[in-house]
Structure 1
Amino acid sequence: MTTVPSTPLHPTEDVAPPVTAAAEAAARERLLRCLLRETGTPVTAPGPLRLPVPGRPLVAEVTVVSPSGHHGFAAPVRDEDGRPVEHHAVVDAVLRAAGGDPDRAAGLAGEVADSAARTARYLAGARGRWADRPSELSVLRGHPFHPTPKSAVGFTDADLGAYAPELAAEFRCEHVAVHPQLLAERRVAPGDWGLEPAPDGWPVLPVHPWQARWLAGHPRGAELLADGWLRRLGPRGPVVRPTSSVRTVAAPGAPSVWKLPLGVRITHFVRTNPAEHVRRALDASALVARADPAGEHPGFTVLLETGYRGVAEEQAGAELADGLAVLFREPPGADLAVLAGLLEDGPSGEEPALARLLRAAGGGPAAWLRRHLAVATVPLLRVFDRHGIGFEAHVQNTLVGTRDGRPVRCAVRDMEGTHVARDGAAAALLETGSPLLYDREEAWQRLRYHAVTNHLAHLVATLGRVGPVSEHALWAVVAEELAAAGTPSATALTRDRTLPAKANLASRLGGHGERPDYVEIPNPIQEAAR
């Protein structure tokens, strides 16, 4: 899908210099973590660390050593004589070290700058409004191992103010009436989608306002509008807020969450809903509704995509169909918070919301972690062992419910990322050609990455940083709980020497960010269990 070119942001013009510096420091930290992880460079102690970059030597000051790679660094990076090195020079050096095509590296350097500029605006906008900020609005800096965690190619500066969750945006979706003969629809589970038909009874589609502009300018879209197959109804329905994913929106108390297509490249791919993604989400939801794996685990739930609505690809063409298909998701309820938002520091370095939960819960980080493992990690592993179903439970897809600060509930969302082992029990419930099916080793790799390398490692690193217990000691708690669980997957995690991690930097430079390479990293669970 073609995107509208973005207008680069210039944070020094929009926010105070200290905020720009903080955003650039966050960008460097993510680049350095990527570089060290993807080159296998060990970090064993705080202090000066010579970076594995070509040309003049660069030295970073390590302030936090993390067994899972969530290292912290002091600003600035310096040369071997102790002189500060400018931010853009550090970025260029890291990209050269990671290899790849020089032209692609130059383009990525621009996106790194753009991502940092957007981060600066988010930090500035959230200052003074951190306490009790909704978790979906709190992911200000983004993925801790991504070179462009806040990239949004296609959004202008004005679009950010209108549509960015980090800026507490809210809006009404445009609605488009679809001729019944053009409609494409599939339902796999009961649920109210929260849509009112057009006055003449035609079915309607909610459309992101940005996407409505795209539709009007799309040749086939303009043609269908002119010929009366599609009719724009304007903004209607409830005021919605985007979730941390930007393109998925929800209104308080609404019966459905809308996963909208959006022709903007967020992090590393354009967030439309291609036919294969729609099928994956609905095949997974139908499977989960039938097998009910979560029903075996009190406190663990899966939020289904109950169906989709769009326009028929045969008549509209693939690009337009991808750009209008909407997935409808079960609402999570107001008592759940996205885990990614609980782990983020505030815009001025305030403690993350997780620290407040720890104080409310009492008992310390180890006790909190044990409760989280019981309602989240162990159920994920048991579902995989019994059914062969793995969920894409990274920190932005994991919702946590607490009572008196303690974890009591976990919900997983976004069924498009579900994967099923071909030899698992659930595979028999799928068609042979379902895109959900993977060889067991690949399904196991995906589960380990999302549930452990991404989700659990981020949580444990944050607990170790905000509490009185070290990260290494907390990994020992993980090892104890997994050993006690005794399932095949849990046992394997205590014995495997490595874990898979996405090589996001190398993958972006290689031009295949949507299908990232993986590297193997030391498994802190196995190390703690020795």
Structure 2
Amino acid sequence: MPRSADEESEVARELARVRPALVEPFRAALPGARAAVLTRLWRALAFEPLPWVTGREHAADGLTVRLADGRSLSGPPADPFAVDGAVTEVGLAGAAYRDPAALMADLDVPHGSAFAAELAGSAASSALSRADAVPLPGGTAWEWEQRVVDGHPYHPGCRSRPGFTVAEELAYAPEHRPVVRLGLVPVDREDCLVSGDWPAAWREGGRLLLPVHPWQARHVLRLPDVREREEDGVAAHPLMALRTLAVPGGPQVKTALSTRLTSSVRDISPGSVTSSAAVSAFAESVTPRLDGLLHVTRTLGAACDGTPDLAAVVREDPEMYAGPGERVLPVAALGEAGLTASSSWLDGFAVLALSVGLRLLELGVALEAHGQNLLVVLSPDGRPARLVYRDLADIRVSPARLARHGLRLPEGVPARIVTDDATALRRKLFGSLVAGALGAAAGSAEALAGLLLRSAPRLPPTADREALLRDPLPVKALTLMRLSPDRPGDRWAALPNPLSGRGR
């Protein structure tokens, strides 16, 4: 039986035990979920610098990908910004594949077998997410986040959650709308690394109470006495990042979750704990130059026991930046809110997001402004008013650019986020905001081209703007990264600029 069929059958068996009403909806959702993952995989095969791809022939009626072993792949035209699951079949050496995991396994490339298993899990988990989706009324930002059922718009492992049982996905994943009770682990203050002001509510004499995700407590820390009883734990709503949760009436908490979700193992390094306050204060000092168009959620406190497995970062709730009658919406949920259907709304949002991103980049800060980190504040009449950004762990900062504007990089900012290389800075912003968030919102290369063309006259006239409108668009090569486990860090692909050949 093919790998995906094994995975799907096991999910169906588990569902029959823990949520039998979802078995038939799950089975009905499988073809669409496989197509969603296959569409993302075909994008990677079409555009990423995979070492075993020797050539590509793009035509109006399809794409042929030549492989180093002499075989070839064939499929529909590859639109790098299509996220609607339009690719339902790909050919390999004359055989037709509808199952992305089977296709990856039969490509027989280095590390392909392990990645095929992730794709099987991603398709099955995506089907489970779709099967359990229900219309939710517009409300808080975390409610909108839980409406995003398909995960990362471009990663074939968009719903890969190795190590999670079906029962655990239902209990902890945001699209299933659970309330997750975080445990509180007491750790002596002298044994902790602490940055910022740890919340008083999570102190107990000379000890800090560190929030821990129940999956982490059970599978990694194996702690017998984690306080997750009704009277001791912290009830919270999981967000798109799964390990980050919103505490009602309180902050958002990023917890360590030592399993692979899409591309990365989600622990929290001691280095990021110790630098978090400095990075937060630095961002807070720069954003006033943006005329109130961008707020960055402050890191209130971070702590760990000296390891990456028991750690937490406490951040402001983005909704504190909404005024009377305003709403805050994560950019990844724009489609669920019906906002991307309006070209005038999307134009206004694009001008706002690109202007803020380019102005901040000129100052020397490149945001990783993908749909999960970036939120938009909607005015009472629904217009995009300003932006909120959260999670500063992966921004990039240029001391030379800062100095040109009379700004200084403070002590305590980690060296790994510091660079004066224009390519690295542009990759960070353009790869996340343009090729990522705006590309997914537009939904096609043609629509993104129109969006950029209409926005261009209203953008700040910087060298970065010219690069954005002229050069190939950088994007993380997410499949290449998963097939290169011996080479950590980001790898990149260059997508055709949708404005190529157009006047502006």
Q: 1:34 aligns with which of 44, 53, 56?
A: 44
Contact 1:302–1:412 (CA under 8 A) maintained in structure 2: yes
| Greater Cα offset, 135-144 or 257-266 | 135-144
Check the 8 A contact 1:282/1:415 in 2, yes or no: no
In the alignment, what sits opposite 2:182? 173
Q: Which residue of 1 aligns with 2:218?
A: 213
Partner residue, 1:322:
308
Q: Structure 1 residue 238: deviation in Å?
A: 4.1
Equivalent position of 1:348 in the other structure: none
Post-superposition Cα deviations, 1:394-423, rounded to whole Å, max 9, x if no partner, equal 111111122333211211111101210131
Partner Cα distance (2:144, 2:413) in 1 = 39
Query: Which residue is equivalent to 2:303?
Result: 309
Whole-Å Cα distance in 1 between the matches of residues 195 and 29 of structure 2?
A: 47
2:20 maps to: none
Look up the equivalent residue of 2:455 and give its one-letter code: V
Inter-partner Cα distance in structure 1 for 2:202 and 2:391? 24
Structure 2: any 5+ residue segments left out of the alignment? 1-5, 16-22, 50-54
Structure 1 match to 2:374? 398
**TM-score, scaled relative to structure 2:** 0.82
Equivalent position amino acid for 1:262 in 2? L
Partner Cα separation in structure 2 for residue 250 and residue 84 of structure 1: 41
- Counterpart of 2:279 in structure 1 is 284
Separation in 1, partners of 2:464, 2:426: 9
Structure 1 stretches lacking a partner, 5+ long: 1-6, 226-230, 314-320, 344-351
CA distance in 2, matches of 1:80, 1:8: 25
Paired with 1:87 and 1:493, the residues of 2 have a C-alpha distance of 32
Q: Could you tell me how far apart the structure 1 residues matched to 2:144 and 2:200 are?
A: 24
Match of 1:381 among 329, 344, 358: 358
The one of 118, 122, 135 equivalent to 2:125 is 118
The equivalent of 1:76 in structure 2 is: 89
Q: Following the alignment from structure 1 to structure 2, what is the Cα–Cα distance between the partners of residues 202 and 433? A: 27
**1:91 matched to 2:104:** yes
- 1:174–1:117: structure 2 CA closer, same or farther, 3 Å change rule? same
Determine if contact 1:154/1:263 at 8 Å carries over to the other structure.
no
The answer to whether structure 1 residue 341 and structure 2 residue 333 are counterparts is yes
TM-score by length of 1: 0.79
**Change in 2 beyond 3 A, CA 1:29/1:205:** same
- Counterpart contact for 1:304–1:329, Cα < 8 Å: yes
Q: Distance in 1 between matches of 2:302 and 2:74?
A: 51
Partners of 2:57 and 2:65 within 8 A in 1: no
Q: Which deviates more from structure 2 when the two are superposed, residues 245-254 or residues 396-405?
A: 396-405
2: CA distance, partners of 1:115 / 1:76: 17
Distance 1:43 1:185, change over 3 A: same
> Relative to structure 1, is the Cα distance of residues 237 and 38 closer, same or farther in structure 2, using a 3 angstrom cutoff?
same
The one of 471, 479, 496 aligned to 1:505: 479
8 Å contact 1:68–1:524 — kept in the other structure?
Answer: no
- What is the identity, as a one-letter code, of the residue corresponding to 1:285? S
Compute the RMSD of aligned alpha carbons: 3.1
Matched, 1:162 2:184: no
Is the contact made by 1:66 and 1:471 (CA closer than 8 Å) also made in structure 2? no
Say whether residues 1:246 and 2:235 are aligned partners.
no
From 463, 467, 476, give the equivalent of 1:492. Answer: 467
Distance 1:204 1:123 in 2: 36
Answering whether residue 442 of structure 2 is matched by residue 429 of structure 1, we say no
Distance 1:117 1:341, change over 3 A: same
SS in 2 for 1:489: helix
* Corresponding residue for residue 519 of structure 1: 493
Residue identity in the other structure for 2:252 = V
What CA deviation, in whole Å up to 9, does each residue of 1:259-291 have, x standing for no partner? 1111121112211101233345433212112x2
Contact kept, 8 Å, 1:142 with 1:150, in 2: the verdict is yes
Q: Partner of 1:268 in structure 2?
A: 263
Q: CA deviation at 1:306?
A: 2.3
Name 1:197's counterpart in structure 2. 203
Structure 1 letter corresponding to 2:121: D
Aligned position for 2:114: 107
Q: For each residue in 1:213-260, what CA deviation from the matched residue of structure 2 results, as whole angstroms up to 9, or x when unmatched?
A: 24653xxxx6xx8xxxxx743343542011100000112321x11111
**2:135: which partner in 1?**
129
Give how far 1:448 is off.
Answer: 2.1
C-alpha distance in structure 2 between counterparts of 1:158 and 1:459, whole Å: 32
> For residues 158 and 139 of structure 1, what CA distance do their matches in structure 2 show?
20
Equivalent residues in 2 for 1:38-57, closer than 5 Å: 38=48, 41=56, 43=58, 45=60, 47-52=61-66
Q: What is the CA-CA distance between 1:25 and the residue it aligns to?
A: 0.9
Deviation at 1:86, TM superposition (A): 5.3
Partner of 1:297: 291
Per the alignment, residue 432 of structure 2 pairs with 450
Whole-angstrom CA distance in 2 between matches of 1:43 and 1:444: 27
Residues 257 and 456 (structure 1), Cα distance of their counterparts in 2 relative to 1, 3 Å cut? same
Query: Structure 2: which amino acid aligns with 1:246?
Result: L
> 1:280–1:417: 8 Å Cα contact kept in structure 2?
no
Shift of residue 121 of structure 1? 0.7
Q: Tell me if the contact between 1:368 and 1:406 (Cα under 8 Å) persists in the aligned partners.
A: yes
SS class of match (1:273): coil
Paired letter, 1:129: P
**Shift, 1:453, TM fit:** 1.8
Q: Separation in 2 of the partners of 1:298 and 1:528?
A: 33
Q: Is the 8 A contact 1:273 1:322 kept in 2?
A: yes
Residues 283 and 434 of structure 1 are in contact (CA less than 8 Å); yes or no, is this contact kept in structure 2?
no
- Shift in alpha-carbon separation, 1:427–1:257, aligned structure 2, 3 A: same
Deviations 1:39-62 (A, max 9, x none): 5846553x4443445666554244
Report the CA distance shift for 1:448/1:527 in structure 2 as closer, same or farther (over 3 A).
farther
> Is the 1:504–1:513 Cα contact (8 Å) retained in structure 2?
no
